[in-house]
Amino acid sequence: TNPDALEKAVETEGKSLIQGLENLVADLEANDGELVVRLADETAFEIGRNIATTPGEVVFRNEMMELIQYRPTTETVHETPIVLFPPWINKFYILDLKAQNSLIKWVTEQGYTLFVVSWLNPGQEHADLGLDDYVEKGFLTAIDTAKSICKVKQVNAVGYCIAGTTLSLTLSLMKQRGDTSVKSATLFTALTDFSDQGEFTPFLQNDFIDGIEEEVNNNGLLRSYIMARTFSFLRSNDLVYGPAIRSYMLGETPPAFDLLYWNGDGANLPGRMAMEYLRGLCQRNEFADGGFELLGHRLHLREVTVPVMAITCETDHIANWKDCYRGVQQMGSRSKTFVVAQSGHIAGIVNPPSRNKYGHYTNTDLKGDANAWMEGATFHEGSWWPRWEAWLKKRSGKQVTAREPGDSKHPPLTPAPGDYVRVKARR
């Protein structure tokens, strides 16, 4: 009864219906009988050829991650390097889709030595990996490796989404251990207080989490397509029903859109890590309330005491900015900068200055609640990237000769974007 589909069928003498059926069958075959609507033309992109192309080298690899050091584009760089931790729910190249909107490329152009973690895409053999492994073999190891290569005592760390949450856990652990390796922390859309679960409330009730736990016990993993489906149904018109109508009813080929290609190139989560996150952080809110047990320590949100800049997004449906704000308020840092960017979880972060598309809000008074903060905030046209860089510059030391990737102890292993990012999620 869809009038557009009927009109298209008449116009094409039924060819649109045949193509739509072929699209449907192709999607079912590609996902072992599960109906997952393809959002993008997967043949249009190749990692390392026309996406994720910023030059660099993998300078370290272990069972958790590859560490990429990007090539300098300036003759001198700031002494203190940046270590960026992307979420392992998705792949890091959301920050390096193409030259025009690559945060990774832009950071190197501002004169910084940049390291980026590319996480393992786990299989069933990695079921027992937990948050302790991500912290110890991921965060702490990446920081130590960057320090060693650059011959410095401190780095500036960045964590995006779940990696921002875990960076905060890591900072609490480092505080308890007396480790001062992190000079400042930048958090992109990172939740640390889960007391208000917002749109995710239905997905964080026991009946749903019990089902996830059963899935994890059966497969050892929280499989990528289950997470993708959950996130998609939060924006079902854009990510489920609209694409299904265009593909199956109108017989249209999915668009060649890099962002949607990335969205479909998901990653699995190890079973133990997924349940620690869902039960301990999301459901019980232990980091903000009572303490989260990790590596023999009870970690508290108030123990995040390094200078912090938190970038949040106004229409973010995954990490609501008001919830992010509440977490930052509870951190023990004496230097906190909070920014609300226009748009959502991805577009609010991937917002290069050249596009001049989305603005951002700032307010130095973090004493009131989120509504009071926004009422007193100042709106600024354009991207928050230059504001962050100005903040970072004050914490990045003197200029030194630009560093080529690696050193004698960490020779380049393979060109960026590396090998781990090419691994597809396994069922």
Q: Write down the residue that tokens 């890099």 correspond to.
A: 258
Q: Does the bond joining 417 to the residue before it have cis omega, within 30 degrees of 0? A: yes
Pairing between strand 182-188 and 308-313? parallel
Euclidean distance between the first and final Cα of the chain, in Å?
A: 36
Tokens linked to 314 = 């106004």
* CA distances to 117, 192, 316, 393 from 140, in Å: 12, 19, 29, 23
Half-sphere exposure of 414 (CA within 13 A, CB side): 11
Residue 57, H or E segment: strand 56-61
* CA distances to 23, 171, 371 from 328, in Å: 46, 13, 15
Active site residue 161: yes
Q: Write down the residue that tokens 């995954």 correspond to.
A: 318
Q: Which of 150, 161, 282, 313 is catalytic?
A: 161
**Closest Cα partner for 316 from 275, 336, 344, 354?**
344
Residue 376 neighbours by CB distance under 10 Å: 12
* CA distances to 176, 358, 388 from 269, in Å: 28, 32, 31
DSSP characters for 116-155? EEEE----GGGTT--HHHIIIIIIIHHHHHHHHHHT-S-E
Distance, CA of 328 to CA of 334 (rounded, Å): 11
- CA–CA–CA angle 232, 66, 394 (5° rounding): 85
Pairing between strand 182-188 and 155-160? parallel
Partners of 117 in the beta sheet?
67
Pairing between strand 269-270 and 414-415? unpaired
SS3 content of the chain, % helix, strand, coil (to 5): 40, 15, 40
**Closest Cα partner for 164 from 87, 277, 66?**
87
Task: List residues with catalytic annotation.
Answer: 161
